[in-house]
Structure 1
Amino acid sequence: MPKFITKVLTLMLIAFSSTYSQATTDNDSEKDEQTPLSVQATVHTAEWAVDWWLPRHQQKLDEVARRNGEIDLIFLGDSITHNWESKAPQYWQTFYQHRKALNLGFGGDRTEHVLWRLRHGAVDGLDPKLVVLMIGTNNTGHRQDAAEDTALGVKYIIDELKQRLPNSKILLLAIFPRGESSDDPLRILNEEVNQLIKAYSDNDSVFWLNINHLFLDESGDLSTSVMNDLLHPETPQYKIWAQAIEPYVVRFVDGQTRE
């Protein structure tokens, strides 16, 4: 199919999906000017995402179908999670391939995009043992949402996961550090979000983990050797990430008993 036609069809699907999502508002509130964008479930309509975002969503639905829903571990997030596929496939293979893992990271996603995906089949029919969730840096970075708004978006995602995956444990990760120094405005904003969302942990169904110190030097600075753009981890950092969450994966995936 010619690329132009493909793009037109994709745009039409986005328009339809956006209209549909407007008709399927949150259960406890209607969309209005008082509702933060962070909780208004929607597709990603940025020009650079049009060609691949909805197709990737469909590809993930197809992958789940091919695997007959046999998924024990889900990673859910934005480009930092998405990049397991491009930057660290060797570590994914080592740590997660045998654990029936699924990567649901989408580059550029904010909380509202994750909500849309969850409400449009992303985890339907699944019963994973563990969901590793990290989201929010695009809310704080792209739009500079207030920390409270980003945290509310994360809360909505957790509630959605609890409803759709009632047997699953959720490992909620602190948003990774960004910016060179601790006084970087976006680093500060991310940390404000982290201070709010860590309260969502109940050590029963939701577990909080902050591994940010592993990416920083003794002065709290972030090096371009760790994150070249001061946002996205480089390949070696994915091994560090995997090793840091391994105790939770061992506990809930390898030795999981439904508690």
Structure 2
Amino acid sequence: MRALLLCFLLLGACTTLPPATESRPPQGLGSPKQDGGHFLARHESFLQRGRQGPVGLLFIGDSITEGWARHAADIWSERYAAFQAANFGIGGDRIDHVLWRLDNGELETIRPRVIVLMIGTNDSASRSGSQIAAGVRQILSLIRSRQPQARILLLAILPRGPRPGAARDDSAQRMQAIREANAELARLDDGDQTRFLDLGGRFLQDGRIPPELMPDQLHPSRKGYQIWAEAMQPLLDEMLAHR
């Protein structure tokens, strides 16, 4: 009581500060994907990759990231093998799934110099741009807490078009969410620890996606991955060289 009275006499009022919070995100993030076991099998393979040896460069994402192995393995080997690169992409992943994976061991036994992240296109069917951006920010927070030494190259969500054979064309609505998300993600570039790069314009001609770059209007062809690699290389080299 005496301390409270003294506080009012000296300062006029007392403010109760909130308890200090930890920088480490809370446990139990995201959710695993229920797909008959493929998701968990891929997750386990990533854990094994981490235990096998060093990872200097890590790619995280969905099928667009996973597709390097199927469509551009030679480009991957030529450009990234020297950095002990690892590909932690799983087809169909949304933000929730990546959060779960990273919160369940995928960042525990590795120490990459640079992490390349692209995620959000699968969220665009049911989430707004602001919701997608908020989820990506949560992923970035988790990465920083587990891998403080790593620089993060955050890639904009690539454009997508009408999917051949789809029951309905929701590409316009999804692109609106993607554009809104990318606009928010661009503001996360701090010029140092986190850099943002938008490759989307390189996949468009007169506002449309040429089939030779994305045959299904979503996944890059080998030529598309070549464009990705060439456009990303200058910034990636700069980030990898940073000590």
Please state which band the TM-score falls in when normalised by the shorter chain: 0.7 to 0.9
Q: Secondary structure at the match of 1:150?
A: helix
1:245 CA displacement: 0.9
Q: Which residues of 2 match residues 40-119 of structure 1 at below 5 A?
A: 41-45=30-34, 49-67=35-53, 70-119=54-103
Counterpart-to-counterpart distance in 2, 1:54 and 1:168: 25
**Alpha-carbon shift at residue 148 of structure 1 (Å):** 1.4
SS in structure 2 opposite 1:250?
Answer: helix
Give SS of 2:148's match.
coil
The residue identity in structure 1 corresponding to 2:26 is N
* Match status 1:210 vs 2:198: yes
Q: CA deviation at 1:120?
A: 0.5
* Offset of residue 99 of structure 1: 1.4
Unaligned runs of 5+ in 2: 1-24, 163-170
Corresponding residue number in structure 2 for 1:124? 108
Cα displacement (A) at 1:60: 1.1
1:16 corresponds to which residue? none
Q: Which residue of 1 aligns with 2:155?
A: 173
In the alignment, which residue of structure 2 is the partner of 1:148?
130
Match of 2:26 in 1: 27
What is the identity, as a one-letter code, of the residue corresponding to 1:203? G
1:95 Cα deviation (Å)? 0.8
Partner in structure 2 of residue 135 of structure 1: 119
User: Identity over aligned residues, as a percent?
Assistant: 34
The 1-side partners of 2:204 and 2:140 are apart by 28
Which amino acid is 2:30 matched to? Answer: A
Partners of 1:64 and 1:155 lie apart in 2 by 24
Q: Which amino acid is 1:154 matched to?
A: V
Letter in 1 for 2:127: D
1:135-166 deviation line (CA, Å, top 9, x unaligned) = 0000003xx21211111110000000000000
Q: Distance in 2 between matches of 1:150 and 1:210?
A: 16
**C-alpha displacement of 1:248:** 2.1
Instruction: Report SS of the residue matched to 2:65.
Output: helix
Deviations 1:155-203 (A, max 9, x none): 00000000000011001111000115xx822122211110111111111
CA distance in 2, matches of 1:101, 1:149: 30
> Which deviates the most, 196-205 or 156-165?
196-205
- The separation in 1 between residues aligned to 2:236 and 2:36, in whole angstroms, is 34
C-alpha distance in structure 2 between counterparts of 1:252 and 1:198, whole Å: 17
1:6 is aligned to: none
Structure 2 Cα separation of the partners of residues 233 and 60 of structure 1: 23
Amino acid aligned to 1:200:
L
**Which residue in the other structure is 1:225 paired with?**
212
Cα offset for 1:225?
A: 1.9
Q: Distance in 1 between matches of 2:133 and 2:225?
A: 25
- Match of residue 235 from structure 1: 222
Corresponding residue SS for 1:222: coil
CA offsets, 1:10-42, max 9 Å, x none? xxxxxxxxxxxxxxxx639xx9xxxxxxxx510
TM-score normalised according to structure 1 size: 0.78
Over 3 Å counting, the alpha-carbon distance change for 1:213 and 1:222 in structure 2 is: same
Letter in 2 for 1:176: L
Equivalent residue number for residue 36 of structure 1:
none
Kindly report the root-mean-square deviation, in angstroms, between the aligned alpha carbons of the 2 structures. Answer: 1.8
CA distance in 1, matches of 2:108, 2:37: 24
